[in-house]
């Protein structure tokens, strides 16, 4: 039931983002198929013979962040053109190649910490990274959201990313403080597993001392993870960023 509920929420999020795709009542799988179809049309127009856009996250969930695979004989200019074409499909998020990383954005676009902060805030506005009850283990239903957070943070590598854990006021203050710290560490480890460098991640926990404005301290909605992206040396992203070995 939890998985089904998560897919329903994800389908709604995709429907909002996919401005060119009608039918907000489509399932996550239907929306995934629609994005894949439009992406393949864009790939063909860009001359990406043999390239396939896979809209599936590393954990197997439907995703709006495609992995481009194939087209090993294409030159780098064509790869960049293909990546930009897929990125232009309404509803598509960050792009990466199966044989390396790619950023499908125009030549001189500069990504700032504020840009990444806004992207992460948008992801967490309606959804929350959840954990098993009274534990620091990330709930399976939240793995897709962690995938999306990692994709949103990736363009601003080089910045310091602070991860802060919060709890509600149920339970002893000392236990809440420890649990909030453990959960922040669990999120850091999950991001590292998704390719975010550990040396740029900072973790802390504040227990129940900073409830969401307007909520009672005991409200379960206070159980949350917050991210703060702090400038150090923002990266200028090229169409192909860290292509990697083939």
DSSP letters for 78-143: HHHHHHHHHHTSTT----EETTEE---S-TT-B--HHHHHHHHHHHHHS----BSTTSSSBPGGGH
pTM (predicted TM-score) = 0.54
Share of the chain above pLDDT 90, in %: 34
Residue-wise pLDDT for 104-142, tens only, equals 444 444 556 777 888 898 889 888 999 888 899 999 999
User: Are residues 118 and 198 both part of a single domain?
Assistant: yes
Task: Tell whether 125 is covered by a domain.
Answer: yes
- What is the spatial distance between Cα 200 and Cα 157, in angstroms, rounded to a whole number? 8
User: Are residues 64 and 157 both part of a single domain?
Assistant: no
Share of the chain above pLDDT 70, in %: 73
- Alpha helix (H) ranges present in the chain? 2-17, 28-45, 76-87, 113-125, 143-153, 173-193
Which of 81, 101, 121 is the last residue in one of the domains?
Answer: 101
Q: What pLDDT shows up at residue 245?
A: 42
Note the maximum CA span of the chain. 61
Task: Tell whether 244 is covered by a domain.
Answer: no
Q: Please tell me the total count of domains within the chain.
A: 2
Q: Give the range of the structural domain holding residue 61, as residue numbers without chain letter.
A: 2-101
């Amino acid at each position: 039931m939890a998985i089904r509920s998560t897919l329903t929420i994800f389908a709604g999020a995709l429907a909002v983002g996919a401005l060119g795709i009608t039918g907000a009542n489509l399932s996550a799988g239907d929306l995934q198929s629609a994005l894949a179809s439009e992406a393949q049309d864009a790939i063909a127009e860009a001359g990406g013979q043999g390239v396939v856009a896979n809209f599936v996250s590393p954990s197997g969930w439907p995703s709006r962040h495609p992995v481009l695979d194939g087209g090993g004989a294409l030159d780098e200019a064509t790869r960049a053109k293909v990546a930009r074409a897929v990125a232009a499909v309404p509803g598509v998020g960050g792009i990466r190649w199966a044989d390396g990383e790619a950023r499908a954005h125009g030549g001189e676009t500069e990504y700032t910490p504020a840009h990444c902060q806004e992207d992460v805030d948008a992801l967490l506005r309606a959804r929350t990274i959840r954990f098993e009850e009274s534990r620091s283990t990330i709930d399976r239903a939240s793995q897709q959201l962690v995938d999306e957070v990692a994709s949103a943070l990736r363009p601003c590598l080089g910045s310091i990313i602070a991860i802060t854990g919060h709890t509600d006021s149920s339970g002893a203050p000392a236990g809440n403080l420890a649990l909030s710290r453990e959960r922040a560490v669990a999120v850091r480890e999950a991001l590292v597993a998704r390719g975010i460098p550990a040396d740029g991640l900072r973790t802390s926990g504040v227990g129940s001392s900073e409830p969401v404005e307007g909520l009672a301290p005991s409200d379960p909605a206070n159980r949350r993870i917050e991210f703060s992206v702090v400038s150090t040396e923002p990266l200028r992203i090229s169409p192909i960023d860290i292509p990697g070995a083939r």
